[in-house]
Structure 1
Amino acid sequence: MTVREARDPAEGAPRDGTAVPPAPGAGRTALIAVAALAALGAGLFWIPLRGVDLEAMDGYGLISVLPAATLAGAALLVAAFMATLALPRPHRPLLAAQLLVLTVSLHGVAQALEPNARFPTVWQTAGFIEYISRTHTVSWDLDARFSTPGFFAFIAFVMNAVGQHDIEPLLRWAPPVTNLLYLVPYALILRTLRATWRAKWFAAWLFVAANWVGQDYLSPQAFAYLLYLFFVAILVNWFRHHHETARRAGRRRAGGTAERRGRVRRVYDLAFGPKDPGELPPPQAPVRERSVLLVLLFVLLLVGTAAHQLTPFLMTAACAGLVLVRRCGLRGMPFIAGIVYAAWVSFMTVGYWSSRKGEIFGGLGKVFTNVRQSTGGRISQTSAQTADVQQLRIMIAAVVVGLAAAGLLRRRARGIDDRVALVLMLVPFSSFGLQNYGGEIALRIYFFMLPAACLLIAYLFFPAPFDAPRVRDPRVRLRLGRLRAGSRRHWPAVAAASVFALALTGGFLAVRYGNERYEQVRKDDVRAFDVMLDAREGPVGVVWLSAENPDLVGGTPVMPWSYRDWERLSYAPVIANRGDPADISPIVQGLKDQGPSGYFVTTRSHEDFQVLTAGLPADYGDRMRRALASSPEIQTVLSTRDAAVYRLRNPPPAPVAEVPRPAGLGMRGSPWTPAGLVYLPVLLGVLLARELRRLRLPPGETRRLRPLTVLAAPLLVSVVAVIVERFVVIS
C-alpha cells in the first residue's frame, strides 16, 4: 500500500474509507469460528421456541416465558457480530448475513409464536384497506386517517393486482420485512460519512437492535418512515452543498478570545474551532442523473404527504436543517415541501379539520403536556410489572440520547464536524408541540432520531474518521496523528461496544414485547367480531368495558376492532364498577342505548389490559363474565376462554341507526379556491424548474435564477393567501 492510500479519503484514499488490504489466507480460521458462533446462536435462539407456553406470560411480557436457551442464543448472536467487528478487515457477506438473522430474530420472534398478527392496532390497518378495496373510495367522517389514504389505497391496489385476499400474513410478517427495508436507505446514508467500517456496521446493527418502539408494523407511519429515510439518503448523497476536502477554519476570534488558554480555550475550540467535515465529498454525478433524483425527491414528498400526517413535516424540517447547516444545496426544496404539505392539509383534509379544530389543534404547542404524558403520564395507575417495563423504555431512550450526545462530543474533540448527524438528531424534537399526539409523540420522536443516534453512538466507540493501515514510515504516522484508526488498538473499543450491545439486546426483548400479554391477538378475538357482523345485517353497536372514562384518557378497545366492515361498527364504552365486577347494570344500560344492534364484547387481552394498566382486580373479567352469563336479561352469543359476546334477550326496538355511506375526502370550496387550484400547480412547477435550473449552473452563477424567483414570489403569496382564506372561511 502506498503512502497516499493510507491517508484520509479526502486526500486520495478509497471513498469508503477502507484502506486495509486483505491478507491472502489470513484469519480464515477466525472467520470460520465466528460464522459457526453465529449459526450456533441462531439455532439456540429459534429451536427452543417450540416449547414456549404463552399462557404463562406475566406482566413483563414475552421475556417472562422465553427459554434460557433462547436468551443465550441472542447473546451469542451479539457476541458473533462483535467478534466479526474485531477481525482485522470487514467481511461484508458475513456482517450482512448476521444483520439479516438479527432482524428476523428480534423483530419476528412474537410473530412466530402467536397464532395471529400481533397487536390490535395492526388490524385497524386491515379495516382501512378492506374498506377502500370494497368501496373504491374513502370516508373522512369515519376516521381521520382516511384524510391521508395513500398508503391504504396502495396496499389495496397491490393486493387486488396479485389476487391476494387474505391480509393476515402480510400483517404478521410486516415488522421484520419493514426493518430489513429500512437498512437499504440507511446504508446509503452511512456510505456518505467519514467513518471507519466498524463504526458504520455497528451503527447499522444498533439501528436494528434499538428500534423497539413498534412503529414498524403494516401502517402509514412505517411506510412514510421508509420514504423519509430514502428522502434523506438522496439529499445527503447527491445534493450536499459543501465541497470541502480538508479542515476548514473555525469562527474568527476577537483579540481577547485568541489569547485564552486552558479549559476555556478547549471549550471554545470544541464548539467553534476548525473542524473537518464528518461527511465524504459528494460524488460527481452527471446533471441528468441528479435531475432525475430531484424529481424523485418531489415524488417522495407527494407520496409521503398523501400517506401520513406527521412525516411530511419532518421531511420538510430535515431538508431545511440540512440547508441551514450547508449540507444541502437544494435551497428551494424546503419551500416546495412546505407548500405541498400545507396544500394537502388545506385542500384534501378539509372534511376532517373543518369540524374538529379543537381535537386537531388542541395540543398545538403544548410541549410540556406532551412531555409529561410521554414519561410519567404513561406509568400512572399501572401494575408494578408494567410500570417496570415503561420505566425501562424511558431509561433506554435516555441512554440512547445521552450516548449519542457523548459520541458527537468525542468526534468534535477529534476535530470532526458531524452536521448531518446533528441535524437528523435534533429535527424530530421539533414535533413535540406540533399536534395533539399526547404521549405517543415521544415514541415518534425516538423513532425518527434513531438513525442519527445510532450513528453517533457508534462514533462514541469508533470515533476515527477513516481506516488507517499500519505504516512503517514515521512521517506518515506523524501526519495521521490523532485521526489514526489504530487497527491494533480496536479491541478495547469492541469490548466496550459488546457490553452495550448485550445490554441493549436484553432491553429490546424486555420492552418491545413487554406488553405482549394484552397486545397479542388470539383467534377468538377476531372471531368475536365476525360473530357480531354475521349475526345481523346493517349497523352493529359495540359496547365495551373501560376502567376509566375514554373521553378523558382517549382509550379504545384493545381488540381487533373494525378490521372489516368499518362503517357498520360503532363503539360505546361503559365504565367499570371497580368495587363490584358483578354489577353489570352499566353494560345492560349500554346495550339498551344501542337498541337491537347492541352487542357487548370482551376479550382476555382487553381484560388483561384493564388489569395491568388501569388497576382492576386480576379476576375482574372472570367475575364479570359469570354475572353476564347468569343474568336473565343477557343472551350469550359467543363464550370461549379468550373472547365472549353478549346481547340483550329482549332488546328495545329503537334506536335503529343507518349505515353511513362513503363520504369521500369531504372537499369543500371557498370564494378563492378556484384561483388556488390554478396557482398551486403553477407555483410548484416554477419552484421545481428553479431547482432543476440550479443543477445546471456553475458555481457563482445563481443570479440566473432571478427570473424564476421573481415569478415564484407573487405565486407563493397568492397560494398562502388562498390557504389562509380557506381556513378562515370554511372553519
Structure 2
Amino acid sequence: MTTTRSAAEPEVLPSDPLEKLPVVLLSLCVGLGAVLYWVPLRGVTPRDATGLGLISVLPLPTLIGAAVLTLTFVATLAQRRSSRLLLGAQVVLVVVALHTLAQIMEPMARFPTVWQHAGFIEFITRTGSIGTNLDARFSWPAFFAFVGFVAKAVGVTDLDPVFKWSPVIIQLLYLLPLAMIVRVMKANWRAKWFAVWLFPVANWVGQDYLAPQAFGYLVYLFFLAILLTWFRPAVLRTRIGGRRGKGDEPGKLYSFFFGPKTTGEEPVREVGLWERRFLVVLLVVLLLVGTAAHQLTPYLLIASSAALALVGRNELRGLPIIGGVIYLAWISFMAYGYWRYDPGGTLFAGGGNPLQTLLESTSGRIGFGDPDLGKIQRLRIVIVLVVMALTVIGLLRRRFRGIDDRVALILLIVPISSFGLQSYGGEIALRTYLFMLPGAVFLAAYAFYPDPKPVPVVRSAPRRQRLRRWGPTLMASTFAVLLMGGFLVVRYGNEAFEQVRPGELRALDAMLDDAKGKPITLVWVSGEVVTEPAAASATPQGPWGYRNFESFSYTATHFAQEPYRTGLLQTPPVAPTKQEARDRRPNVAEIISAMQEEPGSYLYSSRMNDTYQVLNFGLAPDWNQRLVGEVKASGKFKEVYAGPDASVYKLVEQVGEPAERPTPTGLIVGISNWTPAGLIYLPVLIGVLTARELRRIRLSPDQWTRLRPYTVVAFPLFVGFVAIVVERFLTLKGTQ
C-alpha cells in the first residue's frame, strides 16, 4: 500500500543520535571540574596562608578543577548551537565556586569591615537612632537600617550566617540586571554569554560583602538595566559630521570614527504608557535609595544617565537633574553631621587632583612590606590593564565592522571621572574598576567574538573558515584560564589578614564584660611609619565595634618612627631595608604610658592585626609573641582574655575613671535662616521635575516644546534650592 503526503507537509528527518553527545560530554566535564574543585578543600585551612593569600594553601586538584570549569565553558561557546541551560548552569556554578571559596574554609564571615557594619546594624536596631558623631558612615544609614528592620521583622537575631554567605548571594543578584543589559546589546550569543561569564570572574574587587557599596552597586546595575531596556530613543542615530576628505566623500579616518554606523544595541522594547510611567517613578526611587545608601553610587547614577542622554541613548533628559537635586539635598541636609566641621576636608578630600588620586590608589598601595604582598598588588594592576586593553581591541574590531557601541563605551569611561572626586581612603581605583565592569565585559568579549551574528559552523569547511571558528576559541580559552587564575590569586591575596577568627570576637566580648558598661579605650600596636598623621590608621585590623559600637575609642601606639619617617619623606622616598624593618620593636613603656593617660584602657592583640603589621610593614614574624612575653614579664598587666587568636590585658593599677563618651547625636540637619524654605522647595522641585519626565514619555521628540510650562515652574525652584544649599554651606560650616 502506498501512502501519499501533502506537499505542504514538512518532511520529518531522522534525528542524529550523536547530536546531543557534545552537550552530554560537556556536562560531564562540568561535574568533573566541580568535584576536582571542591572535594580536595576538605580539611584545608587558610590559617597558614602566606603573603600570597589563599592561593598558597589551595591544593593542586582545586586549581585543576577551576581550569576544567573554565575550559569547559569556552568549549560550550564553540558548539554549533547555544545550550542555554548548560551555559546558565556553568555561570551560576562559577559564581558559587569563586565567591564561596573562603567561606567554606573559614568559620566566620570574612572581611573585618563586615563586623563594623554588624556594629552599625546592632546600634541602629538597639537604639532606634544613628550616631553621626561616631562614624561618617552613619550619615548614609539607609542600608544598615533596612537590614536591621528586615532582621527584626522576621525575628532573626543571629545575622552571622547572612554576613558569611552574602557575597555569593549578592553576586548572583548582580546577574539579574546584567541579563537585562545583555538583551540590549546587539551581539552574537557567544559574545553575550562570554560577557556574562567574565563579569563575576573579572570582579575580584571584593566589594560584594554585606555592605552599602554592594547594595549601591546592585541599585546601579538595575538603574542601568531599566534605563537601557525601556528608555532609549526608538530611533537610534550615529553622528555624521566633522572633517572630510577630498571632494564630497568623507576621509577614511573620518568614516572610521564618525561615519554612519550600525547601532550596537537592539531596538528598544515597547511597553504601555502606564508601565513606562511606573518605570520612571521606579528610576526616581532608585536615585533616592542609592543616594541614601552610599556616597559614591549617586554620582555614578547621575553621570551615567547624563552621558547616555548626551550621546542619544537616554530619552529621560531630566533624570540627571532629578538625581543631582536629590544628591545635593542629601549632602546638605542629611549628611550635615558629616561635613559640618570641615566641608572641604571631608567632602573633597583628595579631590581635584585625579592623577595623584590614581597613583595613590594603585602604585601607592604597594608598600615596603612582604614581597609577596607587593606581587599581589602588582598583579591586580596587570589584570586591570589587560582587561582595559581587550576593551580597546573589542571596540576597534566592532568599529571595523561598522558597529557603534556607544552604550558599552559610555558605561566604560564614565566611572573614570570618579578620580576627580576624592581618594575614598585610597580605594577609589578599586571602586572605579568595579563600576567600569558592565561596559568592560562586553567590549572585552567583543575582542574575541565581534560579529553581531554567530559565525556559521559547518562540519567541513575551508581552512580559513575553520580558523575563524577555532581561533577565537583558543584565544578566549587562554585569556579565561589566566583570568581565572588571576582571580584566585588577587581576590584572596589578603586572606592572611582578612580572615576573622572566633577568638578575636571573644576578646572584644571579654573587654565589654570586664568594663561592665563603662567606656573602653582599645590600645593597639601599629608598625606603620606615619608620614601624614591625618592619614594614619586609627583602628587595628580586626572586627572592632561589632557590638556596642559607641562604647569604644581607639589609641594606637607605634613602633620607633625614626629614622624611617625621614627616609620616607625624602624625594624619592627611601624605605627601610628588610633587616631594618624586622629589627623594629614596640616599646612596652610607651604602651603603659598611653594606657595610664586613658583610664579604662585595654591592650588588644590579635592574630589578624599581627599578620597585617608583618606583611604590610615588614616586621619580624615573632614581634607580637615577643611583645606579649614582655607584657607578661613586666608585672604591670593583668590578663583579661587569652586565646590562640587574640589576647586582652589591662593595667594592674589603673588610676581614675574612664571619661564619658560623647552621646550619640542622632540625625542632625542643621538649621540656617533659609533651611525651612529649602525643606519646602525640595519636594515641590522633585515633584515638578518628575512630572516633567512623565509628560515627556507621552511626547515624540519634536513635541518636547510642550514641556516648557514644567521648565518655567522648575527653573526658579531649582535656582532657589541651589542658593539655599550654598547658604547652608557658608553659614553652617565649622558649627558645633
TM-score with structure 1 length normalisation? 0.91
Aligned residues of 1:360 and 1:436 also touching (Cα < 8 A)? no
How far apart are the structure 2 equivalents of 1:119 and 1:380? 21
How far apart are the structure 2 equivalents of 1:410 and 1:367? 30
Which of 47, 68, 89 is the equivalent residue of 2:39? 47
1:596-607 equivalence runs, <5 A = 597-607=600-610
2:475 is matched with 496
1:461-500 equivalence runs, <5 A = 461-467=448-454, 489-500=468-479
SS at match of 1:113: coil
In the alignment, structure 1 residue 518 sits paired with structure 2 residue 497: yes
How far apart are the structure 2 equivalents of 1:201 and 1:316? 28
1:324 is matched with 310
1:564–1:257: structure 2 CA closer, same or farther, 3 Å change rule?
farther
In the alignment, structure 1 residue 594 sits paired with structure 2 residue 598: yes
1:722 is matched with 724
Q: Could you list the per-position Cα deviations for residues 420-454 of structure 1 after superposition, in whole angstroms to 9, with x for gaps in the alignment? A: 11111011111102024142000000000011111
1:675 is matched with 677
Q: CA deviation at 1:638?
A: 1.6
Letter in 2 for 1:515: N
Q: Could you list the per-position Cα deviations for residues 389-413 of structure 1 after superposition, in whole angstroms to 9, with x for gaps in the alignment? A: 1100111111111111111111111
Q: CA deviation at 1:26?
A: 6.0
In the alignment, structure 1 residue 275 sits paired with structure 2 residue 277: no
2:396 is matched with 409
How far apart are the structure 2 equivalents of 1:678 and 1:158? 31
Q: CA deviation at 1:541?
A: 0.5
1:636–1:421: structure 2 CA closer, same or farther, 3 Å change rule?
same
Counting aligned pairs with the same residue, the percent is 50
In the alignment, structure 1 residue 58 sits paired with structure 2 residue 44: no
How far apart are the structure 1 equivalents of 2:626 and 2:424? 35
1:570-581 equivalence runs, <5 A = 570-577=553-560, 579=583, 581=585
1:500–1:488: structure 2 CA closer, same or farther, 3 Å change rule?
closer
1:607–1:459: structure 2 CA closer, same or farther, 3 Å change rule?
same
Letter in 1 for 2:508: F
Which of 514, 527, 532 is the equivalent residue of 1:547? 527
SS at match of 1:194: coil
How far apart are the structure 1 equivalents of 2:700 and 2:223? 25
Letter in 1 for 2:556: P
2:413 is matched with 426
Letter in 1 for 2:478: V
Which of 97, 112, 115 is the equivalent residue of 2:104? 112
Give unmatched runs, 5+ long, in structure 2.
1-13, 459-463, 561-580
2:359 is matched with 372
1:155-554 equivalence runs, <5 A = 155-244=147-236, 250-251=240-241, 253-254=243-244, 256=246, 265-357=251-343, 358-467=345-454, 489-536=468-515, 537-548=517-528, 549=530, 551-554=533-536
How far apart are the structure 1 equivalents of 2:248 and 2:358? 41
How far apart are the structure 1 equivalents of 2:466 and 2:268? 27
1:48-127 equivalence runs, <5 A = 48-127=40-119
1:24–1:565: structure 2 CA closer, same or farther, 3 Å change rule?
farther
SS at match of 1:601: strand
How far apart are the structure 2 equivalents of 1:151 and 1:689? 28
How far apart are the structure 2 equivalents of 1:360 and 1:589? 36
How far apart are the structure 1 equivalents of 2:623 and 2:587? 11
How far apart are the structure 1 equivalents of 2:313 and 2:259? 18
Aligned residues of 1:538 and 1:659 also touching (Cα < 8 A)? no
Q: Could you list the per-position Cα deviations for residues 446-465 of structure 1 after superposition, in whole angstroms to 9, with x for gaps in the alignment? A: 00001111110000000011
Which of 690, 693, 711 is the equivalent residue of 1:691? 693
1:594–1:24: structure 2 CA closer, same or farther, 3 Å change rule?
farther
Q: CA deviation at 1:56?
A: 3.0
Q: CA deviation at 1:470?
A: 7.3
1:611 is matched with 614
Letter in 2 for 1:83: A
Aligned residues of 1:321 and 1:427 also touching (Cα < 8 A)? yes
SS at match of 2:102: helix
How far apart are the structure 1 equivalents of 2:222 and 2:239? 32
How far apart are the structure 2 equivalents of 1:111 and 1:382? 27
How far apart are the structure 2 equivalents of 1:614 and 1:657? 33
Q: Could you list the per-position Cα deviations for residues 89-124 of structure 1 after superposition, in whole angstroms to 9, with x for gaps in the alignment? A: 111111111111101110111011011110111111
Q: CA deviation at 1:238?
A: 0.2
SS at match of 1:432: helix
Letter in 2 for 1:629: K
Q: Which moved more, 1:522-531 or 1:636-645?
A: 636-645
In the alignment, structure 1 residue 702 sits paired with structure 2 residue 704: yes
Aligned residues of 1:138 and 1:149 also touching (Cα < 8 A)? yes
1:653 is matched with 656
Q: Which moved more, 1:345-354 or 1:543-552?
A: 543-552
Q: Which moved more, 1:380-389 or 1:434-443?
A: 434-443
Letter in 1 for 2:400: A
1:93–1:448: structure 2 CA closer, same or farther, 3 Å change rule?
same
Aligned residues of 1:312 and 1:337 also touching (Cα < 8 A)? yes
Give unmatched runs, 5+ long, in structure 1.
1-21, 472-484
Q: Could you list the per-position Cα deviations for residues 145-184 of structure 1 after superposition, in whole angstroms to 9, with x for gaps in the alignment? A: 1001000000000100111111111111111111110010
Q: CA deviation at 1:490?
A: 2.6
Which of 542, 545, 548 is the equivalent residue of 1:562? 545
SS at match of 1:191: helix
Q: Could you list the per-position Cα deviations for residues 308-336 of structure 1 after superposition, in whole angstroms to 9, with x for gaps in the alignment? A: 01100000000000000000000100100
1:479 is matched with none
How far apart are the structure 2 equivalents of 1:517 and 1:120? 12
How far apart are the structure 2 equivalents of 1:100 and 1:173? 15
Q: Which moved more, 1:557-566 or 1:576-585?
A: 576-585
SS at match of 2:207: coil
2:569 is matched with none
Aligned residues of 1:251 and 1:272 also touching (Cα < 8 A)? yes
SS at match of 2:417: helix
